Amino acid sequence: MAAATEPTVLLTAFEPFGGDARNPSWDAAQRLAERWDGPATLVVEQLPVVFAEERARLAAAIAKHRPTVVIATGLAAGRAAVTPERVAINVMDARIPDNAGAQPVDEPIDPCGAPAAFSGLPIKRIVRDVRAAGVPASVSNTAGTFTCNQVFYELMSFAGREGFRAGFVHVPATPDIAGDGPSLELDQIVTALDAGVRASIDPSGDIVEQGGAES
């Protein structure tokens, strides 16, 4: 059991959405919490896939746990790798309705907020360490415009005010929900999140390594 003086890592993940029975981000977060052996205290919270509830639910989780590091995670169906996100943008543009039926189009997350917010996680180190653990990983330069991006943007607002390290990591679908699309086994996603949490606990800066894309 982690000591009380150790830092706390808050790992958030989403409930199922879009007709799926499961959300691999939440399944992986729960499994990692069950097997976590330090060096920090790891806590997990599930977030709804509901635009109107994200900020309040995220704020409540942060107030409850007072974390040193927050890593939000979500599902990116169609991706074949675990992808730490570089940037969140201040827009909600939903391709499908959220779980409450809302489908905002071209609406700002925060009408008074900055156009974008960058991750505070060591995204290049996370990619390196996840790959070293045998799981495909790459930097992503778009978090989409659904609730994942909204949580990421809101999270960086809280992190800027309260001074904790934070960011977002997308995970692929698992084979049971991927159909013919790309997927990773749940154990691979758990391994990747374990590596990402451990990289994020390390307070040192990020490495300089290629992670850009042409498109």
The kind and range of the H/E element at 195 are helix 186-201
List the catalytic residue out of 45, 54, 148, 154.
148
- Pairing mode, strands 8-14 and 69-75: parallel
47 with 130: CB under 8 angstroms?
no
- Catalytic-residue membership of 148: yes
Please state whether the peptide bond connecting residue 39 to the residue before it is cis, i.e. omega within 30 degrees of 0.
yes
Give the torsion through C-alpha atoms of 162, 114, 209, 126, to 10 deg. 40
List the catalytic residue out of 170, 185, 209, 214.
170
Round to whole Å and give the CA distance between 40 and 32. Answer: 13
Look at the block and give the residue holding tokens 């008074």. 112
Geometric angle at alpha carbon 161, from 108 and 112, rounded to 5°: 25
Geometric angle at alpha carbon 91, from 123 and 67, rounded to 5°: 45
Round to whole Å and give the CA distance between 215 and 212. Answer: 9
List the catalytic residue out of 85, 154, 162, 209.
85
User: What is the set of active-site residues?
Assistant: 85, 148, 170
